[in-house]
Amino acid sequence: MFVMIENLKYQYNKSTKAIIQNFSLKIKKGEIISILGESGSGKSTILRLLAGLETPNSGSISINDNVIVNHHHFLPPEKREVGIVFQDYALFPHMTVERNIKYGLRKMSRIQKQQRLDEMLQLVRLEDYKNRYPYELSGGQQQRVALARALAPAPSLLLFDEPFSNLDAHLQIKIRNELREILKHTNTTSIFVTHDQTDAVALADRIILLENGSIGNELKPSELASTNYMLQYRTGLRI
C-alpha cells in the first residue's frame, strides 16, 4: 500500500481523552479518500498528524515505503513530500498567482520553475491570471491557485481540509468535478476531510466515517449515497 497508517493515537498533554485512537488506514497510489465526520470528531487532527504539524502519542505512518513517524522517528514536515490545501486557501496576499505557485519550488532552477508554473497554470486553467493578486480572484479561482501551489512540488500525498466550505453551492459542484479530474489526471494520492456527505460522494473513491477519533465505518460512495445511509448519517445514528 502507498500510505500506511497504523494504530494512531493522539491527545493533548493535559487531556485525559484521546482525540484520535486506534486509527488505521491503508491507501493505494492515486486513491482519493474522504474522511467524513461531524465537527470535533478529529478529522483535521488526522491531517495535521500526516503533515507533521502534530506528533502522535503512538502509532506509525508510512508513505511510499518511507516511515515518516513512529515511536522513535519523526520526519520534519518539510521533508515529508506532503502538500496541504487549507480551508481558507492560505494564499499569500502580497504575492501574485505566479509567485504563490512558485513558492514551494525553491530547489528548482529558474527554467524548471517556469516550466512547472506553466504546467500548473494550464492544469487549473488560469493561464491568463498569473499576474493577478488573490484579492483580484473569485473564490473558485483562489482555490485553484491553492491547488496548483500544492501540486507544483509533486507531493507524494495531498491533503484537503474542508476544501469547499467557502464556496457557494453552484461553484462547489463545478470545483468538485474539476478537482477530481485533476487529481486523477495527475494520479495524486489524496485525503480530504469534510462534514458534507455530498462532497464525499462526489469526490472520493472510498469514504471513511470518523466517530470520536476512530473509524466507525468504511463505505463506497454509492453506499453512502443510498437513502438509508444518508438518513442514518444525518440523524446522527451509528452506521
Task: Locate 52 and state its grid cell.
Answer: 507533521
What residues pair up with 191 in beta bridges, in sequence order? 33, 159
Domains of the chain: 3-234 (3.40.50.300)
The tens digit of pLDDT for each residue in 144-159 reads: 999 999 999 999 999 9
The tens digit of pLDDT for each residue in 151-191 reads: 999 999 999 998 887 777 777 888 888 899 999 999 999 99
- Taking 3-state DSSP, the helix, strand and coil percentages for the chain, each rounded to the nearest 5, stand at 35, 25, 40
Q: What is the value of pTM for the model shown?
A: 0.88
Q: Tell me which residues of the chain have a pLDDT lower than 70.
A: 227-239
How far apart, in whole angstroms, are the C-alpha atoms of residue 78 and residue 5? 19
pLDDT of residue 108: 92
All residues at 6 or more sequence positions from 193 whose CB lies less than 8 Å from its CB, including other chains: 34, 35, 36, 37, 43, 44, 46, 47, 160, 161, 162
Do the bridges between strand 3-10 and strand 82-85 make them parallel or antiparallel, or are there none, so unpaired?
Answer: unpaired
